[in-house]
Structure 1
Amino acid sequence: MINYSLCFNLRLKLVLFLGLGLLAQQISAQQKTRITNDWEFLKQDLGGIWESVRPAKAGDPETVPLWQKVTLPHCFNAEDAVDPDLNYYQGPAWYRSRLTIENPYQNGRILLHFEGVGQKTEVYVYTTKVGTHVGGYDEWTVDITDAVAAFKKTEVYSKQFGGKIPLSIRADNSRDLEMIPSDLSDFNLYGGIYRYLNLVYTPALSVDKLFATAEVDAKGKLGKLKVKARFHNPGKATATDAVLKLTDPKGKVVLTKNTSLSNLSGDVDITDFEVKTPVVWSTDQPNLYTVELSIGTGADQYKISHKIGFRNFEFVEGGPFLLNGKRLLLRGTHRHEDHAGVAAAITEEMMRTEMKMIKDMGVNFIRLGHYQQSSIILNLCDSLGILVWEEEPWCRGGLGGEVYKEQARRMMTNMIEQHYNHPSIIIWGLGNENDWPNDFPEFDKEKIRAFMKEQNDLSHRLDPTRKTAIRRCDFCKDIVDVYSPSIWAGWYRGIYTEYKATTETEMKKVKHFLHVEWGGDSHAMRHSENPDNALSKIKPGDGADERAGDASLYGGGARVSKDGDWSESYIVNLIDWHLKEQETMPNLTGTAYWPFKDFSTPVRPENPVPYMNQKGVVERDFTKKESYYVFQSYWITTPMAHIYGHTWPVRWGEKDEKKMVKVFSNCDEAELFVNGKSQGVKKRRSADFPAAGLRWQVSFQEGTNHIKVVAKKGKTIVTDEITQEYQTAKWGKRAKLVFEKLKEEDGVATVQVKLLDSNDVLCLDAEDFVSFGLIGEGKLIDNQGTSSGSRKVGVYNGRAIIRIKTNGGKSMVSVKSEGLPSTFLEL
């Protein structure tokens, strides 16, 4: 399938490269090093810090369990979060390393910069506690200068540690009702040093934070830039020289200002000036200026730079969203920090891949749920042109006491101050589902309202240029600037054809409406010939919101989330309907599909992939589901075409029965070929549901069928093709499990189990759970949270796949399912 032109790919790669360079540019004058290697880890608590640093005597066994070698970032729930047989570990763990520290700056400072640790942290230099932090998502620093200097004076420094500094870190994600987010949240509260940790050297006087407020009128004629700085000044310096430079997107210096600062306390005004007709930042052309501040001179000079953008945005009361004076339909999704095999410990390369896939899907807006995320992600949003709603982690559970509220205030402040300069951010989220009780005996709506108003005022005080928002807390919707109610038409409540009417009703209830969170779960590789059957059980007009208990697979009234087949086929229909409706709503600001990628959650143990929220359009390992291409067909302009069913190997029905073949494409017209015979040319019309009219009724031959589409957009031609089997044989009751080895390459074997009836006919509607096991030299590649990476999984159309790392030896793979005899396969 041809999706993208070469020049678009080259441009995107350049944008990504520049985006990842932002973080380095921000610390250009500091010496900053990621501490990734030479770490040891212990998944339990210690009796005290002495157990981390005490010398081991020759010949004596370890007096605590053995430490394991790890690299950072590292999450200690990398696998157990999706282990089908366990609750994920919530408790303390320890990390330790030995650092070579030599500060190049005379009288300089030594900082540890943590980009994110879950969820409570203690930091030690040798046995001295040098810092603590509560909260798993905001950045923070510890000044270890004095502790390092003191330790270097001891004999232990040279005799036991060979001139290195012992660093020990305790990370703890134990359950705590007086912390946010709530453990009732629909995502894991991970533990570990799961974002990058940096060793930073600075001069005696440095810039702690730089605040650059860039504004422009809607016509782009007059820009204004105001710059403030906050200093890290433990030596109490009273004055410094400063130079500020502004560089345009092409690298031309458009302003240089020299000044002398005689007040270095608080937030110090650096400059305030006008920029005539600035090059504006937009989602199509994310033009970025550079603000650079230099202080001091000579060997103690310090520089800091940030990327900024001039853009104007407006939520029209009762109307659409405007960017730089023009309507922009916000086409959005959501992101959690979660990935197969590593959980929250996502590397920079993984982040780059994910954000590129999101942009490739046509996204221009993202909600970062439900907490402050890595600065790397924000840099990529800036450089790719993706508008952002970023959110403090006040999620579910109600409202705690003063310790609880103080953490929320602190994390809100840190999020806004740390990400203040990103032009991509337009909304600060104050919370999510704050109408969800149960962490405390008291659930007082008026107290929640009072604290929501306090947080709203704090946000506007820290940053008057951006909007505030919450999702799903109707009794607080009048407090914030932008509100998103709960609308899950066709999943938790209602049917998807009610989406437009429900949305238009909700839009009238608030001044500024933005619909975030819609969609539904789909089990990757499960498909259906009749995906909408469950809709017949549901009574229309009962609302389309999510209510208590709706996420459960048991009990309550009829709903697709409980009674549907969780097929990709159904979700493709739901998404297709939503997207075509959104194009016909001129006052809609936009929406954000929930979420982009499947993610783990402790509250869904019985899903087809246990402990996974499966609403993503890609799996937890970036494998695209069919729905990814539905979004592309509506949201991107580069010609593309995709036949539905790339992961649907066998279709079924009667002999000569007409079957629908759908093509998702943004092209003007498409011609379908089945087994070399044309099925005719269809024109694309987005209002023609499903597949915008690009659908054909086809008679398949029994056995193998080759399907090809040729689509045209102007002079550009794109193609796609798949092969599917067509089964007419009827199946009876499941009778046996049959293994087959599909392939083996690079030391990894892929095996498949099929559910057959007593006549060896594949049971294509089977949804039973199967459980894999293994003995021998190999190892199951499981606990990945994917349809082909879980040892317990609901089958998809009578089959399931697992992979095995063979380790060059022999193994025996087993599979079992309730009511059927187990079977085995020797590798």
Structure 2
Amino acid sequence: MNIFFKRVFTVVIFLSYIQLTAQIPAFQDRSFVKLDHWKFSKGIDNQGHLLTKSDSSWQDVIVPHTYSMDAIKGIGYYKGQAWYRTVLKVPESMKEDRVFIRFEGVGQEAIVYLNGKKIGKHIGGYSAFCFEVTDKIKFEGKNVLAVNVTNAPNFKRIPVDDALFNHYGGIYRPVLVFSTPKCNITPTYFASSGVFIEATEVKSNRAKLEIRTHISNQSSLNEVKIKYIIRNKANEIVREAEKLFQTIGKDLIATNHMELDHPILWNGKLNPYQYSLEVQLICGNTIDKITQKFGVKTYQIDSSKGFILNDELYNLHGVCKHQEQEEVGPAMSEGQLVEDMELIDEIGATVLRLSHYQHSDRTYELADEKGILVWTEIPYVHDWSGREGGNAKQQLKELILQNYNHPSIFVWGLWNEVRAWSGEKTPPVVLTKELKKLSHELDKTRLTISASDRDIVSTMGGITDLQAWNKYFGWYTPSIDGLSNWLDSSHKKFPNTTISISEYGAGGNIQHQDINRLERPKGAYFPEQFQTEYHEKSWGIIKNRPFVWSSFVWNMFDFSVAGWNRGGVRNLNHKGLITFDRKVKKDAFYFYKANWSDKPVLYIAERRHKDRTQEKTSVKVYTNLEKVTLYVNDKKIETKKLTSDINSITFNDIRLKDGKNTIKVISKGNSLKLEDSVIWTLKKSGLALKVE
């Protein structure tokens, strides 16, 4: 159906879903080798996989690695094949075991060869894949692992084009070789943990759990025992169980039920509490073991009140994020992934939209730990070919099964800005319905969602369980106030419809400080002050409308879009609250931090507008403190109390002297003193402005 409000909803939409979740497999419980050092060659080579092929002239690289930095630097953006090769020796500990190779992410397609023989192919640049190589690997001597990679366009693969973000090539996430006993918790079921934990009932005094374990047996034994151990945060055992399975044959999905008494709920940033589950598969005298963390929660969405977490209203305000940085592209280290999540946590975000594809394992783990709810999605973005359905379903299976157990994830995203003009038989409409059905077959506990850039009713709208909208009033349209008009009229006309703003934002170049020169949305001048003003007004509109159950700033960080020439820097989307290199937090970052964070904030805005020609100016301060005192050139000017509902204080008609001026603000409390200062230079002569 093409009108999303026609569903089995009552007068007040009250969507209630119970969840319990956990992490990717703990490889520390298995023997493993991390493959970091590789040889690399860009270009077509029909002999790249052969053992007789010499790679002595190839480049030495460290994985994670991408060969698409030319897209960021604007020197070509190569879209095509490349080769990676490495030599590995199997550790003694693996000799009697089954051996596997797991790639966490290769952009965008990979054909894997071991000792000259093809072991598998994977299409899709953002999800993990795993192959068993027991019968192909040499346990004596060295093995040659070769990977043919391509980021060339493919209309049978999502995303079908790179109009909104770069399609990087390379082995840009970690690669592991690991081993298991002959009878194992299978790692090849869509490269998932093989263990799926579902909370079938959650009450204050009890949580009922269903644990499904996928078993692969290549031993001669037909009987296995599974031992389950649940520990609390203090590592104390709170529940144990064992179950015997007879006549398992080659494969088995073992199901067991357990209960938690008086469960402590995973409660967002208030208390991101996680238990741990240890699953031991005992087959004869061998044990395969996986340990995971998990959390229990419930959530609901009310069309008038908003988001409800564990039966309490919980405000969802946050950001979107691409996985890339200026110096490394998508090949981010663990330290860089941690840095990004620390910044998202610092700003006070309670929700994160991982755009527009599956992100790294570590990112989801960090969200679990910090209590940040996550919308994660497949890269079904913008344009479509009508031939990508099979790959879209594959990537959805991988997204859900590889991340099924994370407590932070609460919705599966099925598309972003996909447009259909010719009715319900249009391929993306048909595919979305199939993806929704598949999602609910794989996961009964979560809702599906999509992000539309159309109006409140559209051909693609309302197919997913939840509909959200990307709205850039004031950036791609003249007036920021259009957002309030759209929200109010939409809510009035469709009061039973849940509304989320999945993207809103404006470009901001920290080198541009003259707001009068704004050239939106595709010009060469994006003043930082306009970006800040845009967010002040937009957040003021959103925060006062509780029926907007979630909102997401686009974007947390500047990111690359090859071919763009906007805002004075090529190949860059400037809508981030932080610069691409993570070195500068823009004024808008501190605006949101003052509004979202429970940490004290005191920040002078427009600080990079250092050279001024007007003697009289204003001083704007973002703060969540009770009162602020302004000093100019060590002279106390005024103390003001915070009365703004967007946590901003402005001191007007402040006079500057010719030359350098020290602007300082101080906030004192009973046990707290914060101070911030900047230096602005007044040039009465009216010389051309210099922005540093």
Whose relative contact order is higher, 1 or 2, with alpha carbons under 8 Å and at least 6 apart?
2
Unaligned stretches of 5+ in structure 2? 1-21, 187-193
Distance 2:92 2:485 in 1: 64
Larger radius of gyration: 1
Distance 2:53 2:295 in 1: 53
Which amino acid counterpart does residue 246 of structure 1 have in structure 2? I
Distance 2:175 2:182 in 1: 21
Aligned length: 655
For the residue of structure 2 that corresponds to 1:680, the secondary structure is strand
Cross-structure match for 1:737: none
For the residue of structure 1 that corresponds to 2:540, the secondary structure is helix
1:682 correspondence with 2:673? no
Alignment of 1:381-780 (within 5 A): 381-401=367-387, 404-435=388-419, 446-472=426-452, 474-507=458-491, 508-509=493-494, 511-528=497-514, 530=515, 560-562=520-522, 565-623=525-583, 624-653=585-614, 656=615, 658-687=616-645, 692-712=648-668, 715-730=671-686, 761=687, 763-764=688-689
Distance 2:423 2:670 in 1: 59
Cross-structure match for 1:81: 71
Distance 1:347 1:94 in 2: 21
Distance 2:567 2:663 in 1: 33
For the residue of structure 1 that corresponds to 2:266, the secondary structure is coil
Distance 2:274 2:675 in 1: 36
Cross-structure match for 1:9: none
For the residue of structure 2 that corresponds to 1:397, the secondary structure is coil
1:693-714 Cα deviation digits (max 9, x unpaired): 3433311111100011112456
1:114 correspondence with 2:103? yes
Which amino acid counterpart does residue 407 of structure 1 have in structure 2? N
The answer to whether the 8 A contact 2:522-2:567 is kept is no
1:100 correspondence with 2:85? no
The answer to whether the 8 A contact 1:135-1:411 is kept is yes
Query: Alpha-carbon deviation of 1:341?
Result: 1.4
Cross-structure match for 2:12: none
1:798-818 Cα deviation digits (max 9, x unpaired): 457xxxxxxxxxxxxxxxxxx
Distance 1:325 1:723 in 2: 49
1:282 correspondence with 2:282? no
Distance 1:407 1:287 in 2: 36
Distance 1:525 1:264 in 2: 66
For the residue of structure 2 that corresponds to 1:343, the secondary structure is coil
Query: Alpha-carbon deviation of 1:316?
Result: 1.3
Which amino acid counterpart does residue 589 of structure 1 have in structure 2? W
Query: Alpha-carbon deviation of 1:237?
Result: 5.5
Query: Alpha-carbon deviation of 1:188?
Result: 0.5
Which amino acid counterpart does residue 641 of structure 1 have in structure 2? L
Query: Alpha-carbon deviation of 1:266?
Result: 6.2
Distance 1:459 1:603 in 2: 35
Do the aligned partners of residues 271 and 728 (structure 1) sit closer, same or farther apart at CA in structure 2, a change above 3 Å counting? same
> Larger strand proportion, structure 1 or 2?
2
Distance 2:350 2:33 in 1: 33
The answer to whether the 8 A contact 1:329-1:588 is kept is no
Which amino acid counterpart does residue 628 of structure 1 have in structure 2? F
Distance 2:147 2:683 in 1: 59
Query: Alpha-carbon deviation of 1:563?
Result: 6.3
For the residue of structure 2 that corresponds to 1:670, the secondary structure is strand
Which amino acid counterpart does residue 213 of structure 1 have in structure 2? E
Which amino acid counterpart does residue 99 of structure 2 have in structure 1? I
Distance 1:182 1:398 in 2: 6
Cross-structure match for 1:29: 29
The answer to whether the 8 A contact 2:512-2:528 is kept is yes
1:333-372 Cα deviation digits (max 9, x unpaired): 0111111111010010100011001100001100111111
For the residue of structure 2 that corresponds to 1:53, the secondary structure is coil
1:381-411 Cα deviation digits (max 9, x unpaired): 000111000001111212422xx21111111
More displaced 10-residue stretch of structure 1: 130-139 or 562-571: 562-571
Query: Alpha-carbon deviation of 1:595?
Result: 1.0
1:229-256 Cα deviation digits (max 9, x unpaired): 1123355853311100111122121111
Distance 2:668 2:543 in 1: 22
Query: Alpha-carbon deviation of 1:502?
Result: 1.7
Cross-structure match for 2:5: none
Do the aligned partners of residues 299 and 374 (structure 1) sit closer, same or farther apart at CA in structure 2, a change above 3 Å counting? farther
Distance 2:249 2:581 in 1: 48
The answer to whether the 8 A contact 1:215-1:310 is kept is no
The answer to whether the 8 A contact 2:160-2:385 is kept is no
The answer to whether the 8 A contact 1:230-1:265 is kept is no
Cross-structure match for 1:40: 39
1:628-647 Cα deviation digits (max 9, x unpaired): 10111100111110111343
Distance 1:105 1:428 in 2: 37
Distance 2:46 2:626 in 1: 69
Do the aligned partners of residues 436 and 53 (structure 1) sit closer, same or farther apart at CA in structure 2, a change above 3 Å counting? farther
For the residue of structure 2 that corresponds to 1:495, the secondary structure is coil
Which amino acid counterpart does residue 436 of structure 2 have in structure 1? N
The answer to whether the 8 A contact 1:468-1:480 is kept is yes
Do the aligned partners of residues 606 and 571 (structure 1) sit closer, same or farther apart at CA in structure 2, a change above 3 Å counting? closer
Distance 2:232 2:195 in 1: 18
For the residue of structure 2 that corresponds to 1:104, the secondary structure is helix
Unaligned stretches of 5+ in structure 1? 1-20, 57-63, 153-162, 535-552, 554-559, 731-760, 765-797, 801-827
1:200 correspondence with 2:156? no
Q: TM-score, normalised by structure 1?
A: 0.76
Distance 1:447 1:97 in 2: 42
Which amino acid counterpart does residue 586 of structure 1 have in structure 2? P
Which amino acid counterpart does residue 449 of structure 1 have in structure 2? V
Cross-structure match for 1:750: none
RMSD: 2.4
Query: Alpha-carbon deviation of 1:479?
Result: 1.2
Which amino acid counterpart does residue 333 of structure 1 have in structure 2? V
Aligned with residue 222 of structure 1, among 184, 206, 215: 206
The answer to whether the 8 A contact 2:23-2:294 is kept is no
1:23-79 Cα deviation digits (max 9, x unpaired): 6x7223211232112x111011213235x53265xxxxxxx893111101001112x
Do the aligned partners of residues 237 and 571 (structure 1) sit closer, same or farther apart at CA in structure 2, a change above 3 Å counting? farther
Distance 1:103 1:396 in 2: 49
1:570-614 Cα deviation digits (max 9, x unpaired): 111111122233332122212000111111112413442101111
Distance 2:356 2:668 in 1: 41
Alignment of 1:100-249 (within 5 A): 100-102=89-91, 104-105=93-94, 107-149=96-138, 163-208=141-186, 209-214=194-199, 217=202, 220-234=204-218, 238-249=222-233
Q: TM-score, normalised by structure 2?
A: 0.90
For the residue of structure 1 that corresponds to 2:374, the secondary structure is strand
Which amino acid counterpart does residue 686 of structure 1 have in structure 2? S
